[in-house]
Amino acid sequence: MSGEAIRQAVILVGGKGTRLGAITRAVPKPMLPIAGDRPFVDYLLEMIERHGYRDIVLLAGHLGEALEGAYGGRRIGKAAVRVMREPVPLGTAGALTVAREALDPRFLLMNGDAFFDINLRALEEASQRSGATATLALRTVADAGRYGRVIEEDGKVTAFLEKDSSRPGPGVINGGVYVLKREILDLVRDLPCSLEQHVFPALVERGEIAGREFKGYFLDIGLPETLEQGHLELPTVRVRPAAFLDRSALVDFAARDPCGPDGFRWMAGAVEAVRALNDRGHYVFVVGDSSVRAEAPGAVDDACGLNAEIQERLAPQGAHVDRFYAKDREPFSSVLEEAMNDWPIVRQRSVMVGASNGEVEVARRAGLSAHLFDSGDLARLVHSLLARAAVD
Protein backbone atom coordinates (compact mmCIF):
# COMPACT_ATOMS: atom_id res chain seq x y z
CA MET A 1 0.00 0.00 0.00
CA SER A 2 1.28 3.44 -0.87
CA GLY A 3 0.40 6.85 0.46
CA GLU A 4 1.86 9.69 2.42
CA ALA A 5 2.34 9.13 6.15
CA ILE A 6 0.32 11.24 8.57
CA ARG A 7 2.65 13.51 10.53
CA GLN A 8 0.18 15.45 12.69
CA ALA A 9 -1.59 14.45 15.89
CA VAL A 10 -4.16 16.62 17.68
CA ILE A 11 -5.23 16.11 21.30
CA LEU A 12 -8.44 17.54 22.76
CA VAL A 13 -7.47 18.85 26.20
CA GLY A 14 -10.19 21.45 26.80
CA GLY A 15 -12.73 19.65 28.99
CA LYS A 16 -13.60 20.79 32.52
CA GLY A 17 -13.64 17.37 34.15
CA THR A 18 -16.62 18.25 36.33
CA ARG A 19 -17.25 14.61 37.33
CA LEU A 20 -13.88 14.60 39.10
CA GLY A 21 -14.93 17.35 41.47
CA ALA A 22 -12.62 19.86 43.10
CA ILE A 23 -9.34 18.43 41.80
CA THR A 24 -9.93 19.84 38.30
CA ARG A 25 -10.75 23.37 39.46
CA ALA A 26 -7.07 24.28 39.55
CA VAL A 27 -5.53 21.57 37.34
CA PRO A 28 -6.71 20.70 33.79
CA LYS A 29 -7.95 17.12 33.70
CA PRO A 30 -5.27 15.99 31.18
CA MET A 31 -2.57 17.37 33.49
CA LEU A 32 -3.68 15.44 36.58
CA PRO A 33 -0.66 13.58 37.97
CA ILE A 34 -0.60 9.81 37.65
CA ALA A 35 1.27 7.63 40.17
CA GLY A 36 3.54 10.45 41.26
CA ASP A 37 4.07 13.71 39.42
CA ARG A 38 3.79 12.60 35.77
CA PRO A 39 0.81 14.30 34.08
CA PHE A 40 -1.67 12.02 32.35
CA VAL A 41 -1.19 13.80 29.01
CA ASP A 42 2.50 12.86 29.07
CA TYR A 43 1.49 9.23 28.52
CA LEU A 44 -0.38 10.30 25.39
CA LEU A 45 2.48 12.46 24.14
CA GLU A 46 4.98 9.64 24.56
CA MET A 47 2.77 7.19 22.68
CA ILE A 48 2.19 9.64 19.83
CA GLU A 49 5.87 10.56 19.46
CA ARG A 50 7.17 7.00 19.45
CA HIS A 51 4.76 6.19 16.62
CA GLY A 52 6.57 8.78 14.51
CA TYR A 53 4.19 11.77 14.56
CA ARG A 54 6.19 14.98 14.52
CA ASP A 55 3.60 17.79 14.83
CA ILE A 56 1.47 17.63 17.99
CA VAL A 57 -1.29 20.18 18.57
CA LEU A 58 -3.00 20.51 21.95
CA LEU A 59 -6.45 22.11 21.69
CA ALA A 60 -6.98 23.69 25.10
CA GLY A 61 -9.93 25.36 26.78
CA HIS A 62 -10.53 25.14 30.53
CA LEU A 63 -7.37 26.31 32.33
CA GLY A 64 -5.70 26.55 28.94
CA GLU A 65 -3.03 28.89 30.27
CA ALA A 66 -1.66 26.06 32.43
CA LEU A 67 -1.39 23.76 29.42
CA GLU A 68 0.16 26.49 27.30
CA GLY A 69 2.72 27.25 29.98
CA ALA A 70 3.67 23.61 30.43
CA TYR A 71 3.65 22.42 26.81
CA GLY A 72 3.63 25.35 24.38
CA GLY A 73 6.77 25.26 22.24
CA ARG A 74 8.13 22.11 23.87
CA ARG A 75 9.76 19.20 22.09
CA ILE A 76 8.87 15.64 23.05
CA GLY A 77 11.55 13.49 21.49
CA LYS A 78 11.51 14.49 17.83
CA ALA A 79 8.00 15.96 17.96
CA ALA A 80 7.21 19.68 18.29
CA VAL A 81 4.27 20.60 20.53
CA ARG A 82 2.08 23.67 20.17
CA VAL A 83 -0.99 24.75 22.11
CA MET A 84 -4.06 26.45 20.64
CA ARG A 85 -6.83 27.75 22.90
CA GLU A 86 -10.55 28.08 22.26
CA PRO A 87 -11.88 31.47 23.45
CA VAL A 88 -15.12 29.90 24.77
CA PRO A 89 -16.22 26.25 25.02
CA LEU A 90 -16.82 25.11 21.45
CA GLY A 91 -17.36 21.35 21.87
CA THR A 92 -15.17 18.48 20.68
CA ALA A 93 -15.81 19.27 17.02
CA GLY A 94 -15.94 23.04 17.42
CA ALA A 95 -12.50 23.04 19.04
CA LEU A 96 -11.08 21.90 15.69
CA THR A 97 -12.15 25.18 14.12
CA VAL A 98 -9.52 26.95 16.26
CA ALA A 99 -6.87 24.98 14.39
CA ARG A 100 -8.54 25.19 10.98
CA GLU A 101 -5.57 26.84 9.23
CA ALA A 102 -3.04 24.55 10.94
CA LEU A 103 -4.63 21.17 10.20
CA ASP A 104 -3.08 18.78 7.70
CA PRO A 105 -5.28 17.09 5.07
CA ARG A 106 -5.35 13.98 7.30
CA PHE A 107 -4.54 13.94 10.99
CA LEU A 108 -4.76 11.81 14.10
CA LEU A 109 -7.17 13.04 16.79
CA MET A 110 -7.19 11.81 20.38
CA ASN A 111 -9.27 12.57 23.44
CA GLY A 112 -7.03 14.00 26.15
CA ASP A 113 -8.73 12.12 28.99
CA ALA A 114 -8.43 8.56 27.66
CA PHE A 115 -5.53 6.20 27.03
CA PHE A 116 -6.00 3.49 24.39
CA ASP A 117 -2.86 1.41 23.89
CA ILE A 118 -3.03 0.57 20.18
CA ASN A 119 -0.86 0.59 17.08
CA LEU A 120 -1.77 4.08 15.89
CA ARG A 121 -0.30 3.45 12.45
CA ALA A 122 -2.60 0.45 12.02
CA LEU A 123 -5.55 2.81 12.50
CA GLU A 124 -3.97 5.05 9.87
CA GLU A 125 -3.74 2.10 7.48
CA ALA A 126 -7.40 1.27 8.11
CA SER A 127 -8.30 4.87 7.30
CA GLN A 128 -6.39 4.71 4.05
CA ARG A 129 -8.08 1.46 3.06
CA SER A 130 -11.57 2.72 3.82
CA GLY A 131 -11.16 6.21 2.36
CA ALA A 132 -13.66 7.36 5.03
CA THR A 133 -13.83 10.92 6.31
CA ALA A 134 -13.47 9.55 9.86
CA THR A 135 -12.01 6.24 11.02
CA LEU A 136 -12.54 5.31 14.67
CA ALA A 137 -10.56 3.01 16.96
CA LEU A 138 -13.13 0.76 18.64
CA ARG A 139 -12.89 -1.37 21.77
CA THR A 140 -15.03 -4.10 23.31
CA VAL A 141 -15.56 -3.49 27.03
CA ALA A 142 -17.28 -5.50 29.75
CA ASP A 143 -19.81 -2.76 30.50
CA ALA A 144 -20.65 -0.53 27.55
CA GLY A 145 -23.63 1.08 29.30
CA ARG A 146 -21.68 4.08 30.62
CA TYR A 147 -20.08 4.84 27.25
CA GLY A 148 -22.69 4.28 24.56
CA ARG A 149 -22.37 1.57 21.97
CA VAL A 150 -21.06 1.63 18.42
CA ILE A 151 -22.52 -0.65 15.77
CA GLU A 152 -19.94 -1.64 13.17
CA GLU A 153 -20.36 -4.00 10.22
CA ASP A 154 -17.53 -5.02 7.88
CA GLY A 155 -15.44 -2.02 8.87
CA LYS A 156 -18.23 0.54 8.45
CA VAL A 157 -19.88 2.26 11.43
CA THR A 158 -23.64 2.06 10.96
CA ALA A 159 -25.03 3.45 14.22
CA PHE A 160 -24.28 5.03 17.60
CA LEU A 161 -26.45 4.07 20.57
CA GLU A 162 -26.83 6.45 23.51
CA LYS A 163 -25.42 5.76 26.97
CA ASP A 164 -27.85 3.58 28.91
CA SER A 165 -26.82 2.46 32.37
CA SER A 166 -29.98 0.32 32.55
CA ARG A 167 -28.49 -1.91 29.84
CA PRO A 168 -25.13 -3.04 31.26
CA GLY A 169 -23.08 -5.70 29.61
CA PRO A 170 -20.37 -6.11 26.99
CA GLY A 171 -20.36 -4.03 23.85
CA VAL A 172 -18.25 -2.11 21.37
CA ILE A 173 -17.44 1.50 22.25
CA ASN A 174 -15.68 4.47 20.71
CA GLY A 175 -12.09 4.42 22.02
CA GLY A 176 -11.52 8.16 21.52
CA VAL A 177 -8.80 7.85 18.87
CA TYR A 178 -9.55 8.82 15.26
CA VAL A 179 -8.02 9.47 11.88
CA LEU A 180 -9.88 12.36 10.28
CA LYS A 181 -9.85 14.19 6.99
CA ARG A 182 -9.74 17.96 7.26
CA GLU A 183 -12.99 18.32 5.33
CA ILE A 184 -14.79 17.04 8.42
CA LEU A 185 -14.83 20.73 9.38
CA ASP A 186 -17.46 21.28 6.68
CA LEU A 187 -19.91 19.56 9.05
CA VAL A 188 -19.11 21.92 11.93
CA ARG A 189 -21.69 24.65 11.49
CA ASP A 190 -23.45 25.76 14.68
CA LEU A 191 -21.22 26.17 17.72
CA PRO A 192 -20.73 24.57 20.15
CA CYS A 193 -20.57 21.35 18.13
CA SER A 194 -19.85 17.80 19.29
CA LEU A 195 -18.07 15.15 17.26
CA GLU A 196 -19.94 12.39 19.05
CA GLN A 197 -23.44 13.91 19.01
CA HIS A 198 -23.47 15.93 15.79
CA VAL A 199 -20.68 15.14 13.34
CA PHE A 200 -20.32 11.37 13.60
CA PRO A 201 -24.07 10.66 13.24
CA ALA A 202 -24.09 12.88 10.13
CA LEU A 203 -21.21 10.82 8.71
CA VAL A 204 -23.17 7.63 9.41
CA GLU A 205 -26.01 8.95 7.26
CA ARG A 206 -23.52 9.65 4.46
CA GLY A 207 -21.78 6.28 4.85
CA GLU A 208 -18.46 8.08 5.42
CA ILE A 209 -17.38 6.74 8.80
CA ALA A 210 -15.34 3.59 9.38
CA GLY A 211 -14.20 1.70 12.45
CA ARG A 212 -11.59 -0.84 13.37
CA GLU A 213 -11.61 -2.78 16.62
CA PHE A 214 -8.44 -3.04 18.72
CA LYS A 215 -7.76 -5.05 21.88
CA GLY A 216 -5.24 -2.82 23.65
CA TYR A 217 -5.47 -1.52 27.19
CA PHE A 218 -8.16 1.15 27.53
CA LEU A 219 -8.80 3.65 30.32
CA ASP A 220 -10.59 6.97 30.59
CA ILE A 221 -9.94 9.07 33.68
CA GLY A 222 -13.30 10.84 33.76
CA LEU A 223 -14.47 9.38 37.08
CA PRO A 224 -12.76 9.32 40.49
CA GLU A 225 -12.63 5.52 40.43
CA THR A 226 -11.12 5.34 36.94
CA LEU A 227 -8.58 8.02 37.84
CA GLU A 228 -7.54 5.86 40.77
CA GLN A 229 -7.35 2.91 38.38
CA GLY A 230 -4.93 4.95 36.29
CA HIS A 231 -2.65 5.47 39.29
CA LEU A 232 -2.48 1.71 39.74
CA GLU A 233 -2.26 0.55 36.14
CA LEU A 234 -0.87 3.13 33.72
CA PRO A 235 2.80 2.96 34.77
CA THR A 236 2.81 -0.82 34.24
CA VAL A 237 1.21 -0.50 30.78
CA ARG A 238 4.45 1.15 29.57
CA VAL A 239 6.47 -1.92 30.61
CA ARG A 240 6.79 -4.22 27.60
CA PRO A 241 9.23 -6.39 25.62
CA ALA A 242 11.51 -4.83 23.03
CA ALA A 243 12.88 -6.00 19.68
CA PHE A 244 16.28 -4.66 18.61
CA LEU A 245 16.68 -4.95 14.83
CA ASP A 246 19.89 -4.28 12.96
CA ARG A 247 19.09 -1.80 10.20
CA SER A 248 20.67 -4.10 7.61
CA ALA A 249 17.93 -6.62 8.41
CA LEU A 250 15.40 -4.06 7.14
CA VAL A 251 17.12 -2.31 4.24
CA ASP A 252 18.99 -4.00 1.40
CA PHE A 253 22.39 -2.32 1.30
CA ALA A 254 24.12 -4.84 -0.96
CA ALA A 255 22.93 -3.80 -4.40
CA ARG A 256 22.47 -0.05 -4.35
CA ASP A 257 22.78 3.18 -2.40
CA PRO A 258 19.56 3.40 -0.35
CA CYS A 259 19.94 7.18 -0.15
CA GLY A 260 20.29 7.59 -3.91
CA PRO A 261 17.47 8.16 -6.41
CA ASP A 262 15.06 5.21 -6.23
CA GLY A 263 17.70 3.30 -4.32
CA PHE A 264 15.70 2.26 -1.25
CA ARG A 265 14.71 -1.40 -1.13
CA TRP A 266 13.36 -3.45 1.76
CA MET A 267 14.79 -6.80 2.73
CA ALA A 268 12.30 -9.63 2.33
CA GLY A 269 9.67 -9.60 5.06
CA ALA A 270 10.98 -6.41 6.70
CA VAL A 271 7.70 -4.46 6.81
CA GLU A 272 5.67 -7.47 7.87
CA ALA A 273 8.15 -8.18 10.67
CA VAL A 274 7.98 -4.66 12.11
CA ARG A 275 4.18 -4.63 11.83
CA ALA A 276 3.92 -7.95 13.67
CA LEU A 277 6.05 -6.61 16.51
CA ASN A 278 4.00 -3.39 16.68
CA ASP A 279 0.73 -5.31 16.78
CA ARG A 280 2.03 -7.49 19.61
CA GLY A 281 2.89 -4.38 21.63
CA HIS A 282 6.69 -4.65 21.48
CA TYR A 283 8.93 -1.63 21.41
CA VAL A 284 10.85 -1.72 18.12
CA PHE A 285 14.37 -0.24 18.11
CA VAL A 286 16.53 -0.13 14.99
CA VAL A 287 20.30 0.02 15.44
CA GLY A 288 22.56 1.04 12.58
CA ASP A 289 25.77 2.82 11.70
CA SER A 290 25.50 6.59 11.59
CA SER A 291 26.64 6.31 7.96
CA VAL A 292 25.42 3.87 5.33
CA ARG A 293 27.49 0.71 5.29
CA ALA A 294 30.70 0.73 3.30
CA GLU A 295 29.57 -1.86 0.75
CA ALA A 296 26.87 0.49 -0.48
CA PRO A 297 27.96 2.49 -3.55
CA GLY A 298 29.14 5.77 -2.03
CA ALA A 299 28.79 5.69 1.75
CA VAL A 300 26.45 8.46 2.86
CA ASP A 301 26.04 9.95 6.34
CA ASP A 302 22.60 9.28 7.83
CA ALA A 303 21.91 12.99 7.43
CA CYS A 304 20.53 11.84 4.08
CA GLY A 305 17.50 10.84 6.14
CA LEU A 306 17.59 7.06 5.83
CA ASN A 307 15.98 6.54 9.23
CA ALA A 308 13.28 9.09 8.43
CA GLU A 309 12.72 7.32 5.10
CA ILE A 310 12.27 4.01 6.90
CA GLN A 311 9.66 5.58 9.18
CA GLU A 312 7.93 7.31 6.27
CA ARG A 313 7.63 4.07 4.29
CA LEU A 314 6.50 1.98 7.25
CA ALA A 315 3.64 4.24 8.35
CA PRO A 316 1.21 3.62 5.44
CA GLN A 317 1.74 -0.11 6.04
CA GLY A 318 0.56 0.25 9.64
CA ALA A 319 4.03 -0.02 11.17
CA HIS A 320 6.60 2.15 12.94
CA VAL A 321 9.97 2.18 14.71
CA ASP A 322 9.90 3.51 18.27
CA ARG A 323 13.51 4.74 18.24
CA PHE A 324 16.68 4.58 16.14
CA TYR A 325 20.08 4.10 17.82
CA ALA A 326 23.54 4.59 16.29
CA LYS A 327 25.71 1.57 17.04
CA ASP A 328 29.08 2.81 15.75
CA ARG A 329 29.55 5.69 18.19
CA GLU A 330 29.62 3.59 21.35
CA PRO A 331 30.40 -0.02 22.19
CA PHE A 332 27.41 -2.06 21.13
CA SER A 333 26.80 -3.10 24.73
CA SER A 334 26.44 0.60 25.65
CA VAL A 335 23.82 1.09 22.94
CA LEU A 336 21.72 -1.74 24.35
CA GLU A 337 22.08 -0.45 27.90
CA GLU A 338 21.15 3.08 26.79
CA ALA A 339 17.92 1.83 25.24
CA MET A 340 17.09 -0.25 28.29
CA ASN A 341 17.66 2.77 30.50
CA ASP A 342 15.55 4.98 28.24
CA TRP A 343 12.54 2.65 28.19
CA PRO A 344 10.75 0.36 30.69
CA ILE A 345 11.73 -2.89 28.99
CA VAL A 346 11.03 -6.48 30.04
CA ARG A 347 14.56 -7.70 29.36
CA GLN A 348 13.89 -11.44 29.67
CA ARG A 349 11.20 -11.26 26.95
CA SER A 350 13.15 -9.00 24.58
CA VAL A 351 14.97 -10.06 21.42
CA MET A 352 17.83 -8.92 19.21
CA VAL A 353 18.16 -9.66 15.50
CA GLY A 354 21.81 -8.95 14.75
CA ALA A 355 23.95 -8.74 11.64
CA SER A 356 27.08 -10.31 13.12
CA ASN A 357 28.02 -13.05 15.56
CA GLY A 358 29.69 -10.41 17.72
CA GLU A 359 26.48 -8.39 18.10
CA VAL A 360 24.52 -11.52 18.88
CA GLU A 361 26.96 -12.52 21.61
CA VAL A 362 26.90 -9.04 23.18
CA ALA A 363 23.09 -9.07 23.17
CA ARG A 364 23.00 -12.49 24.83
CA ARG A 365 25.34 -11.29 27.55
CA ALA A 366 22.93 -8.38 28.08
CA GLY A 367 20.14 -10.87 28.79
CA LEU A 368 18.38 -10.74 25.42
CA SER A 369 17.31 -13.62 23.22
CA ALA A 370 19.60 -12.90 20.24
CA HIS A 371 19.56 -14.30 16.72
CA LEU A 372 21.75 -13.84 13.65
CA PHE A 373 20.11 -12.65 10.44
CA ASP A 374 22.21 -12.47 7.28
CA SER A 375 19.64 -13.35 4.60
CA GLY A 376 16.21 -14.79 4.06
CA ASP A 377 12.79 -13.59 5.17
CA LEU A 378 12.81 -11.43 8.30
CA ALA A 379 9.08 -11.89 8.89
CA ARG A 380 9.49 -15.66 9.06
CA LEU A 381 12.13 -15.28 11.75
CA VAL A 382 10.13 -12.74 13.76
CA HIS A 383 6.94 -14.79 13.62
CA SER A 384 8.84 -17.81 14.91
CA LEU A 385 10.28 -15.74 17.77
CA LEU A 386 6.84 -14.40 18.69
CA ALA A 387 5.34 -17.89 18.57
CA ARG A 388 8.10 -19.20 20.82
CA ALA A 389 7.55 -16.33 23.28
CA ALA A 390 3.83 -17.11 23.40
CA VAL A 391 4.59 -20.71 24.37
CA ASP A 392 7.19 -19.69 26.96
- 161-207: per-residue pLDDT in tens? 988 776 778 999 999 999 999 999 999 999 999 999 999 999 999 99
List the single range of 72-76, 296-300, 336-340 with lowest mean pLDDT.
296-300
- What does CATH list as the number for 8-237? 3.90.550.10
Query: Is the pLDDT assigned to residue 379 strictly greater than 60?
Result: yes
Residues of the chain with CATH 3.40.50.1000: 242-391
pTM score, whole prediction:
0.94
Q: Which of 276, 125, 135 is nearest to 211 (CA)?
A: 135
CATH superfamily to which 242-391 belongs: HAD superfamily/HAD-like (3.40.50.1000)
What is the percent of the chain where pLDDT is above 70? 94
CB atoms within 10 A of CB 209: 26
- What is the strand order of the sheet 55-60 is part of? 75-76, 79-85, 55-60, 8-13, 106-111, 171-181, 134-141, 209-213, 156-161, 149-153
Residues of the chain with CATH 3.90.550.10: 8-237
Distance of alpha carbon 85 from alpha carbon 352, whole angstroms? 44
